[in-house]
Amino acid sequence: DALLGCHRSYRSRPTHGIGKFKYLLPKEAPKTRKGKVQMKEIDTGTEYQYGDVNIQMTSYDLCLVEHFAQYVHRLCNRLSIRVNESYAMPTKTNEVLFMEERGSKMQLDAVLTTHQRVVQIRSLSSTFAPILLEVIQSSQPEGVHLLMKQHTEADFKSRLKSRPELEELLAEMS
């Protein structure tokens, strides 16, 4: 046990550095602390493949849109389409007011919440894209609005909090 425990390396001897192997392994990417929000590189895709595509599902009904998002995710897994991310966009709340028949006052009708789920896929082949579209359309439930578009930086920025102080300072500086 004592023989195994000692790792004295004589720098002049040829056995110096024996047992080291980490320098042979490929360099790992720096570990992000606590999942720092950093934008992943957006893939534009080649001529025969679409890059990052966002499948956005919007609806007033939360359970329906969540289940549909799960279904789309599982479908992509089954068809071996790489899914980058599957996230939710912030909820939007709308107050619907309507004018009474007799009178000029606006009356509160309802408070509606709009939910949106996004499934981001990568390297979708150009021949398979219409088939996937067809399958998703055929299983689209009522009241769920489907939108498929390329992923852009603006889409990523819309998920982040706005920083008015930083923007003000930047405007003042320039």
Partner 1 sequence: LMLCYFSSCSSWLPQRVPLQGSHWQSSLLQLRTSLPVRAQPKKKKKVDVRKEQAQKDRMKKKLKKLEKAPPELIPIEDFIAPLKYSESNRVRSLPALSPEESERRVLLLKKWCLFKQKQDEAEKKAIKALVESQQEALKELRLECEELYEAAIRRDEGLFPFERDGPSYTPPLPGYDPPEGKCVDITKVYTQ
In the complex, the smallest distance separating the C-beta of residue 132 from partner 1, rounded to whole angstroms, is 9
Instruction: Work out whether 79 is an interface residue with partner 1 (CB under 8 A).
Output: yes
Rounded Cα distance, 174 and 171, in Å = 5
By beta-carbon proximity to partner 1, the closer residue of 12 and 104 is: 104
By beta-carbon proximity to partner 1, the closer residue of 17 and 170 is: 170
In the complex, the smallest distance separating the C-beta of residue 150 from partner 1, rounded to whole angstroms, is 5
Instruction: Work out whether 142 is an interface residue with partner 1 (CB under 8 A).
Output: yes
Instruction: Work out whether 70 is an interface residue with partner 1 (CB under 8 A).
Output: no
CA dihedral angle for residue 166, residue 168, residue 170, residue 174, rounded to 10 degrees: -170
Question: Pattern 25-44, binding to partner 1, x per CB under 8 A?
Answer: -----------xxx------
Q: Distances from the Cα of 108 to the Cαs of 96, 101, 111, 112, 115, in angstroms?
A: 6, 13, 8, 11, 21
Instruction: Work out whether 84 is an interface residue with partner 1 (CB under 8 A).
Output: no
Instruction: Work out whether 83 is an interface residue with partner 1 (CB under 8 A).
Output: no
Q: What is the DSSP string of 98-139?
A: EE-SSSS-EEEEEEEEEEEEEEEEE-EETTTHHHHHHHHHHT
